[in-house]
Structure 1
Amino acid sequence: MKRLLLCAAAATLMSACNSMPTGEAAMVAEAAMDQPAPAAMEFVRMAGASDLYEIQSSQLVMQTTRNDEVREFAQMMVDHHTMTTQTVMRAAQAAGMTPPPPALDQRKSDMIRQLQAAQGMARDDLYIQQQVMAHQEALTLHTSYSRNGDTAELKTAAGAAVPIVARHYNQIMAMQNGGGSSGGHAGH
């Protein structure tokens, strides 16, 4: 029953966005389709670390940013990545796994420390740069697992995350290309 509910929820989400990513995200997703996927528990660990980074970095930048666009994006990251974490955790449990709570890996911990050290517009600019990279990595992870993963429930959860992460990637790329928090200042 739990499996059926999870699949129904994921199918509903996927049907709402049931298309290949568009824009900048399309190239990332296309390149990821033929990449090997990590094993199920490694996927859960990587997805959890990715989501936790998104949540913590976004909470940090919301404390100081004066840029409404950055603030709105950061709030969306907290909301959406909390949801994708819950989806992956439920899928892992439905597959009979006992997933560990999300934890940052060393690289993402370092990225949080870099954000903590930055101030003002420099923090906003660093946040945008990190979000581009983090979303490219997350899109690659979820796309490759949805296509080539080894656990059906997790493949469904990864597939449901792809359009969400693709939307984020396209939005953060537009922010970066449009000047983001620096508003197009020279040197940014």
Structure 2
Amino acid sequence: MPKALRIAPALCLALGIAAATPAMAQTPPPPPPAAATAKAPDYVKAAGMSDLYEITSSKLALQKSRNADVRRFAQMMIDHHQQTTAATVQAARQDGLRPTPPRLGGAQASIGELSRASGDAFDRLYIGQQIPAHQAALELHQGFAANGDKPALKASAQSAIPIVQQHIQMLQQMPR
């Protein structure tokens, strides 16, 4: 191998030049606690935080993204997650609970990261956060649908599963 070809990769590393786009830090929302797959109050809190993260991050995407596909996806996230929040609240009340308004909690760091990003980097970060967030939401809903302690909430969790699965399929097809 010619000496120039052996030196080029080392020189690129030394100068901080990479052939691919540098990876941005990515802080996905924290996963829900294990108790959220069995205990109704924990499930309601975790589902609310998940939905609020999706709504808040997607409102940022509508403000910041110039990519039509990302913007369409973001609007769908807002619409769908407002609906799942309403269904969860209704089911919780039906099961005799008094749900409190959702809070971002640990997902605030993810929102902060999105707030600081712009342009194509924002789009990559948004999609990059959405994938693990939806995977965690899917596990949450599947777990509560199987093991939950309140019937109306179990049914609500079961109805959320295909919605979240659809979102994951769409995310897997989006460029990152």
TM-score (norm 1): 0.73
Q: Please say if residues 55 and 78 of structure 1, whose CA atoms lie closer than 8 Å, have aligned partners that are also in contact.
A: yes
* Superposed displacement of residue 36, structure 1: 8.2
Structure-1 residue corresponding to 2:84:
84
Kindly name which structure, 1 or 2, has the bigger radius of gyration based on alpha carbons: 2
Deviation string for 1:58-85 (max 9, x for gaps)? 0001102111110000000000000000
Amino acid at match of 2:113: Q
Deviation string for 1:45-68 (max 9, x for gaps)? 000000000000000011021111
Separation in 2 of the partners of 1:124 and 1:143? Answer: 28
User: Which aligned segments of 4 or more residues in structure 1 are displaced greater than 6 angstroms?
Assistant: none
Structure-1 residue corresponding to 2:57:
57
Q: Please say if residues 36 and 148 of structure 1, whose CA atoms lie closer than 8 Å, have aligned partners that are also in contact.
A: no
1:161 aligns with 2:160: yes
Structure number with the bigger relative contact order (C-alpha 8 A, sep ≥ 6) is 1
* Root-mean-square deviation over aligned CA pairs: 1.3
Q: Please say if residues 59 and 74 of structure 1, whose CA atoms lie closer than 8 Å, have aligned partners that are also in contact.
A: yes
Structure-1 residue corresponding to 2:96:
96
Separation in 2 of the partners of 1:120 and 1:96? Answer: 45
Amino acid at match of 1:83: Q
1:44 aligns with 2:52: no
TM-score (norm 2): 0.78
Amino acid at match of 1:65: S
Secondary structure at the counterpart of residue 37 of structure 2: coil
1:131 aligns with 2:127: no
* Superposed displacement of residue 38, structure 1: 3.4
Structure-2 residue corresponding to 1:172:
171
Structure-2 residue corresponding to 1:141:
140
Separation in 2 of the partners of 1:174 and 1:61? Answer: 18
Structure-1 residue corresponding to 2:72:
72
Separation in 2 of the partners of 1:58 and 1:164? Answer: 16
Structure-2 residue corresponding to 1:10:
none
Q: Which moved more, 1:45-54 or 1:57-66?
A: 57-66
Identify unmatched segments of 5+ residues in structure 2. 1-34
Structure-2 residue corresponding to 1:25:
none
Q: When the two structures are aligned, how many residues end up with a matched partner? A: 142
Identify unmatched segments of 5+ residues in structure 1. 1-34, 181-188
Q: Please say if residues 62 and 71 of structure 2, whose CA atoms lie closer than 8 Å, have aligned partners that are also in contact.
A: yes
Separation in 2 of the partners of 1:95 and 1:74? Answer: 31
Separation in 1 of the partners of 2:65 and 2:98? Answer: 38
Separation in 1 of the partners of 2:38 and 2:154? Answer: 11
Separation in 2 of the partners of 1:85 and 1:94? Answer: 14
Separation in 2 of the partners of 1:36 and 1:161? Answer: 15
Query: What is the percent sequence identity of the aligned residues?
Result: 46
Separation in 2 of the partners of 1:152 and 1:87? Answer: 13
